Amino acid sequence: MANNCAIIGGSGSPRLPFFVLGREPDADKSALARYQLFIANYQLPAMSQYLIPTYARQPVAFVRGEGVWLYDENDHKYMDAISGIGVCNLGHCHPAVTRTLAEQARQLVHTSNLYRIPAQESLAQRLCELSGMANVFFSNSGAEANEAAIKIARLYGSRKQITCPTVVVMEGSFHGRTMATLSATANAKVQEGFAPLLDGFVRVPFNDLAAVEALAENRDIVAVLVEPVQGEGGIHIPADDYLAGLRALCDRNDWLLMLDEIQSGNGRTGDYFACLGANVTPDVLTTAKGLGNGFPIGACLVAGKAEGVFGPGNHGSTYGGNPLGCATALTVVNALTDDVIDGVADKGAWLKDAFTQAFSDLPMVTEIRQRGLMLGIQLDRPCPELVNRARDAGLLINVTAGSVVRLLPPLVINQTEMQHLVDTLSALIHRFADEQEVA
């Protein structure tokens, strides 16, 4: 090992290999092969002291994945029922995606947006064809895509001579952790300590058209920003006419309708974008997560009143829309639309019915909310400890909003795997309920 890699880390610190490409005399021993050899013999040390602890990381490291399964350094397998938090919609290491990554990396990784990028243009066309939108700006993440949307709204208002352009956002929303998206997010926990937040946002209850309509006399309003399904907020699903009602209000008041489909897009709800199921075309649509199936990429799509707001010099990104990311995302989009999305609605409905039956005798479970393969199991009390218990049982879940078990399984999950998910999780929650009764 010592001959194959240089070592980073000070004396006494956990030391990881840094492979020096191009210096291996044996051409058959690629950097990947050396890394795999290292992982096979690697013992997980204490958490690295060199990482800023922005995450309370669980004590497990995954070294490979396939479909809905992840494998740790001891080759124990875990069902990933959150898809890397809504990212790996095609499952882990989808063969078409990994093949595209390898082929494009050998050809060209990056140029810059000063030049035409064919893969970027092809991906933009595909997304516009799927969504009914007109143009796309590519970023590296969902937060960046939402930043672009907020800038579009402000520039749109500025050109209407509005001195304080204001965006309507929803209680329980989550739009990111940059300063603008954090300011737009209605979550006191993630905002704490970061004041002063940016002005220009007004909050109303989610799924309340009357509350939005009541703002019609506010001449500073320029846009409404909303998630078609609130993900981080606990899988909250609005009434069927909610998005159409917002579209009508925005049209009546000359506001932009901006939909955050970072989590609900890319097939997650059973339509490529959730707004398609509501027959609504927004002025701005943002997406990320499942767009790259693990490769960092986001997109801000525009149409209608937002088309033409941005011009040269108004916005930019050094890495956004790079050849590697766009080639990968185009493969993801094509794989999703080929045969995957058609089964999402039925899979989600089956899971909801199965969980409803499994918890029919458990008052602790008060509601099961579902749209496509976005599921929220609402408990009547905080349940964060379920995350660790599930992991110990080989199941990866997430608890959000304190008391909601959030499930975002890969869209490629099959019937046997869905049954395993229901059996494992229902047993864990029943055991948790029994312990709570005794306590």
Binding residues for pyridoxal 5'-phosphate, as ranges, are 142-143, 174, 260-263, 318
Q: Which amino acid is at 36?
A: Q
Q: Which residue from 91, 133, 97 is spatially nearest to 326, judged by alpha carbons?
A: 97
d(CA 121, CA 352): 39
Indicate if 260 belongs to the active site. yes
**Annotated binding-site residue numbers for N(2)-acetyl-L-ornithine:** 177, 317
From the list 80, 260, 271, 283, the catalytic residue is 260
- Taking each helix axis from N to C terminus, what angle separates 344-358 and 415-438, rounded to the nearest 10 degrees? 30
Write out the DSSP string of 326-341. Answer: HHHHHHHHHHIIIIIG
80, 138, 201, 289: the catalytic one is: 289
Residue 295 CA to residue 330 CA, distance in Å, equals 12
Report CA-CA distances (Å) from 37 to 5, 32, 92, 205, 247: 12, 9, 21, 53, 55
186 conformational bin, left if phi > 0, alpha if psi -120 to 50, beta if neither: beta
Q: Is 289 a residue of the active site?
A: yes
Identify the CA nearest to 127 among candidates 340, 272, 324: 272
| Known binding-site residue numbers | 142-143, 174, 177, 260-263, 317-318
Among the listed residues 138, 174, 201, 206, the single catalytic one is 174
In the residue annotation, 189 being an active-site residue is answered as: no
What gap in Å lies between CA 112 and CA 97, rounded to an integer?
23
| Residues tagged active-site | 174, 260, 289
